[in-house]
Structure 1
Amino acid sequence: MTDKNLYKTLKERGLLYQCTDEDALKKMLESGEPIVLYEGSDPTADSLHIGHCIPYCIMRRFQKAGHKVLLLMGGATACIGDPSGRSEIRKIMTPEDIAQNIEKIKGSLSKFLDFDGDNPAIIVNNADWFKDYAYTDFMRDIGVYFNVNKMLSNEIYANRINEGGLTFFEMGYMLMQAYDFIHLNREYGCTLQYGGGDQWGNIVAGVELQRKLNFANNTNISLVGATNPLLLTPEGKKMGKTEKGAIWIDKDKISAYDFYQGVYQTPDNCVEMMFALFTDIPMDEVRKLIKEDIVNAKRVLSYEITKFVRGEEDAQLAQEASKALFSGNGNLDNVPTFNIDKTQLPMSLVDMLALTKLVTSKSEGRRMCEQGGVLVNGEVKKDFAYQLNTEDFVDNVCLLKKGKKNFMKVVIK
């Protein structure tokens, strides 16, 4: 049996944007019987940023409700590149780059989905079924069902044509994604595809392809496609990056503090949806929190997402450092950075203060410590002989503060 409240949850949290047959979806999710669904993405980078993880948050809810989740890695489609939302052709990737990216991404996915339990998520790669599918066979079996005039009227392609042109190479993307759905239905019994709002045209293509195959083969297979709303900044850009760079999931790409601050910089218009996606806080509480104090709402959001992605210890350290440095406001863009070598540790606090020039002399450093004017990662340190060691560096970063306005980010290089 599955959680029959999943459909209600998706609606309440605003996670269902478009659906090819919402009545059928509601019936599927309220039946109590598990379904198989998939979400697809092309491994165009070797790591995930927070924007990439939006669909995985939704897949996580389906898995927790008892449904079988398939994650499709587009090893074949990445060779072409999705033209959705693009003004020019994507950089063509080599099969070796794609395979390497898939391996690196798998580790990040385990933060969102269970791959080892009683109902493990399954990773599939469309390169496995396209590599031996001859072009002429594919065109005969699948291409015959696609009307070019209708394809060109689709927003995905129409925008590209208006902005400078579309290659035949890219037009094949829709056919391949549509066939993915057919293949996964045949092999796994998959009946639902969920994706971002910008994938609507490709998702509908898969549902319509099955309808045409039903007519041609006298079958009665029903597929459903659904999307979540895109998380867009006021400038119309997808969430996931700040002016400082991407909010990466992997620990080796970003410190816990910078991750926390990256989430804190979420545009006001995206805060509610970020709560809906990444937390289980009831939406009436979320809206009340935002209405009362958007700044505090962002603090709560930053803590909850950092805890979810990085762990509670990292979240607490990042939150304490943020409070100590900025009372929850601002970021580290203008805070000076001092690089050290790991071999320099352990080092006494007073020596570090002098080395980083936060104090003009060790005597000043000792006095500031004794007076409670020195903080390490948001915690007051009165013992000037305190030995700073690797344990004080969260993802190789330690935050020092002297007085009210003097900061230093010490980084192990």
Structure 2
Amino acid sequence: MDILKDLSSRGLINQTTDDEGLQKHLDENVVTLYCGFDPTADSLHIGHLLPVLMLKRFQQAGHRPIALIGGGTGMIGDPSGRSTERQLNNLETVKHFSDRIKEQLASILNFDEGENAAVARNNYEWLSQMTVIDFLRDTGKHFGINYMLAKDSVESRLENGISFTEFSYMILQSIDFLNLYEKENCTLQIGGSDQWGNITAGMELIRRTKSGEETEAKAYGLTVPLITKADGMKFGKTAGGAIWLDPEKTSPYEFYQFWINTDDRDVIKFIKYFTFLSIEEIKELESELEVAPEKRLAHTRLAEEMTKLVHGEAALNQAQKITEALFSGDVKALNGAEIEQGFKDVPSVKLEKQPTKLVELLVDAKIAPSKRQAREDIQNGAIYINGERNQDLAYEINNEDRIDDKFTIVRRGKKKYFLIRFE
């Protein structure tokens, strides 16, 4: 596989440091490459997916990826792409975040099999052993202040102010590249477009410290584009916040829904970016989108591929089951765990486990503002209990109406759902 050709056809290359040199290097060698992930939370979010999947693409092309967890740099804070300084976490918190992120990376990359099995490294191992004198004498002397000030990650922060802590981040990341170059024969760093300055700084440090009289040390850099959405909103954000890879933070159903609700103008681009479908398959989906956009075949395929990749086949099946139940109204087919996912954001109320007249329940759960309105809604056929219309004014909610003995789902009209939690 010509990995650079494939990446280019998907629009995944923003910049490379040496197009011809990198192409030759990849053609002639099994290349070790790395990408860094600072543990700023206990989960990655979908903004991290593109570089993770880039590592996976290189692995599938026969190269060896290193997932570098920034246990050291994560305690400093990367100024790239930010207008303010990050809140610093303590060592215990960063270690916990690092362990969780390593688990998530292992679920996507192949760490177990083959000569090019992925490996995880943590830069806390070497950065924590470095003294201030080592840092200044052995590394700091290779970085001119003017050189550092010219980098976008620093220059963009000068007006609002940047601490020496964040200013030094570029040097620490350069030490990472040098360390992996020396110990792992790592010759390529990849990252988001905002990492260009940090990547080239690392390459410069390698050149200055490892080039001999007759040979020049070779290292390369590649960045992926900034992901933009057609509607102008930031990718990976919703009204509820970030879309996390941790199923406890963002359920597989919510994850599936994020992708299936992709804007028509973005869906083909996202399929190219995030899935491993061939370009031929993607062209077919693009043609189907043009001919029959209402079928949303591309959106469904994107949601399926991404949910299966991140959460697995069983979670995808569950997300599809919840989606179908909500679309058809047949919510009785769902179990308690699926109800927790599918009705996470609907209004809910807790009630005791005892027979309750439907009219009273509608008022207690604030589904209807008064008993008079509740009776009208029931008589008019606007009330559904677990997907079934109920027009009985004397009806009592009982054990049979509680799914898994915990939940009753009430629908008013076509789309207004309410979740009753029984205790």
* TM-score range for the pair, normalised by the shorter chain length: 0.7 to 0.9
C-alpha distance in structure 2 between counterparts of 1:305 and 1:400, whole Å: 31
State the Cα distance separating 1:205 from its structure 2 match: 0.8
| Partner secondary structure for residue 251 of structure 1 | coil
Asked if 1:277 corresponds to 2:270, the answer is: no
- For the structure 1 residues 114 and 398, does the alpha-carbon distance in structure 2 shift closer, same or farther, using more than 3 Å as the test? farther
**Aligned partner (choices 376, 379, 404) of residue 389 of structure 1:** 404
C-alpha distance in structure 2 between counterparts of 1:126 and 1:309, whole Å: 25
Structure 2 counterpart of 1:101, one-letter code: F
State the Cα distance separating 1:340 from its structure 2 match: 7.9
**Aligned partner (choices 105, 108, 112) of residue 109 of structure 1:** 105
- For the structure 1 residues 69 and 155, does the alpha-carbon distance in structure 2 shift closer, same or farther, using more than 3 Å as the test? same
| Partner secondary structure for residue 230 of structure 1 | coil
Does the aligned pair in 2 maintain the 1:17–1:228 contact within 8 Å?
Answer: yes
Does the aligned pair in 1 maintain the 2:43–2:245 contact within 8 Å?
Answer: yes
Asked if 1:224 corresponds to 2:220, the answer is: yes
Cα displacement string for residues 166-213 of structure 1 (whole angstroms, at most 9, x for unaligned residues): 222211111111121111011000011010111001101111222222
| Partner secondary structure for residue 79 of structure 2 | coil
C-alpha distance in structure 1 between counterparts of 2:350 and 2:251, whole Å: 14
State the Cα distance separating 1:138 from its structure 2 match: 2.1
- For the structure 1 residues 287 and 128, does the alpha-carbon distance in structure 2 shift closer, same or farther, using more than 3 Å as the test? same
CA RMSD in angstroms comes to 3.7
Identify the residue that residue 405 of structure 1 maps to in structure 2.
415
C-alpha distance in structure 1 between counterparts of 2:254 and 2:420, whole Å: 13
Structure 1 residues not aligned, in runs of 5+: 375-383
C-alpha distance in structure 1 between counterparts of 2:408 and 2:32, whole Å: 45
C-alpha distance in structure 1 between counterparts of 2:93 and 2:257, whole Å: 31
| Partner secondary structure for residue 35 of structure 2 | strand
- For the structure 1 residues 371 and 71, does the alpha-carbon distance in structure 2 shift closer, same or farther, using more than 3 Å as the test? closer
Aligned length: 382
- For the structure 1 residues 334 and 250, does the alpha-carbon distance in structure 2 shift closer, same or farther, using more than 3 Å as the test? closer
Does the aligned pair in 1 maintain the 2:386–2:410 contact within 8 Å?
Answer: no
Residues 285-300 of structure 1: pairs in structure 2 closer than 5 A: 285-292=284-291, 293=293, 296=296, 297-300=298-301
Does the aligned pair in 2 maintain the 1:247–1:263 contact within 8 Å?
Answer: no
**Aligned partner (choices 8, 22, 26) of residue 23 of structure 2:** 26
C-alpha distance in structure 1 between counterparts of 2:88 and 2:218, whole Å: 34
| Partner secondary structure for residue 225 of structure 1 | strand
| Partner secondary structure for residue 220 of structure 1 | coil
Asked if 1:122 corresponds to 2:119, the answer is: yes
| Partner secondary structure for residue 40 of structure 1 | strand
Q: Percent identical across equivalent pairs?
A: 37
- For the structure 1 residues 157 and 135, does the alpha-carbon distance in structure 2 shift closer, same or farther, using more than 3 Å as the test? same
TM-score by length of 1: 0.79
- For the structure 1 residues 123 and 403, does the alpha-carbon distance in structure 2 shift closer, same or farther, using more than 3 Å as the test? same
| Partner secondary structure for residue 83 of structure 2 | coil
| Partner secondary structure for residue 206 of structure 1 | helix
Q: Which segment is superposed worse, 9-18 or 209-218?
A: 209-218
Asked if 1:336 corresponds to 2:347, the answer is: yes
TM-score by length of 2: 0.78
Does the aligned pair in 2 maintain the 1:178–1:206 contact within 8 Å?
Answer: yes
Structure 2 counterpart of 1:127, one-letter code: Y
| Partner secondary structure for residue 176 of structure 1 | helix
Structure index of larger Rg = 2
State the Cα distance separating 1:63 from its structure 2 match: 1.6
Residues 248-287 of structure 1: pairs in structure 2 closer than 5 A: 248-267=244-263, 270-281=266-277, 282=279, 283-287=282-286
State the Cα distance separating 1:237 from its structure 2 match: 6.2
- For the structure 1 residues 207 and 323, does the alpha-carbon distance in structure 2 shift closer, same or farther, using more than 3 Å as the test? same
Asked if 1:175 corresponds to 2:171, the answer is: yes
- For the structure 1 residues 294 and 12, does the alpha-carbon distance in structure 2 shift closer, same or farther, using more than 3 Å as the test? farther
Identify the residue that residue 304 of structure 2 maps to in structure 1.
303
State the Cα distance separating 1:257 from its structure 2 match: 2.1
Does the aligned pair in 2 maintain the 1:47–1:250 contact within 8 Å?
Answer: yes
State the Cα distance separating 1:232 from its structure 2 match: 2.7
| Partner secondary structure for residue 139 of structure 1 | helix
State the Cα distance separating 1:320 from its structure 2 match: 4.5
Residues 21-60 of structure 1: pairs in structure 2 closer than 5 A: 21-31=18-28, 33-60=29-56
State the Cα distance separating 1:75 from its structure 2 match: 1.3
Identify the residue that residue 213 of structure 1 maps to in structure 2.
209
Cα displacement string for residues 63-105 of structure 1 (whole angstroms, at most 9, x for unaligned residues): 2222111111111111211111111211122111110101122
- For the structure 1 residues 18 and 388, does the alpha-carbon distance in structure 2 shift closer, same or farther, using more than 3 Å as the test? same
Asked if 1:61 corresponds to 2:57, the answer is: yes
Identify the residue that residue 95 of structure 2 maps to in structure 1.
99
C-alpha distance in structure 1 between counterparts of 2:92 and 2:48, whole Å: 22
- For the structure 1 residues 219 and 29, does the alpha-carbon distance in structure 2 shift closer, same or farther, using more than 3 Å as the test? closer
Structure 1 counterpart of 2:130, one-letter code: Y
Asked if 1:85 corresponds to 2:81, the answer is: yes
- For the structure 1 residues 313 and 410, does the alpha-carbon distance in structure 2 shift closer, same or farther, using more than 3 Å as the test? farther
Q: Which segment is superposed worse, 308-317 or 148-157?
A: 308-317
C-alpha distance in structure 1 between counterparts of 2:25 and 2:224, whole Å: 18
C-alpha distance in structure 1 between counterparts of 2:408 and 2:10, whole Å: 37
C-alpha distance in structure 2 between counterparts of 1:215 and 1:184, whole Å: 16
Structure 2 counterpart of 1:337, one-letter code: S
Identify the residue that residue 396 of structure 2 maps to in structure 1.
none
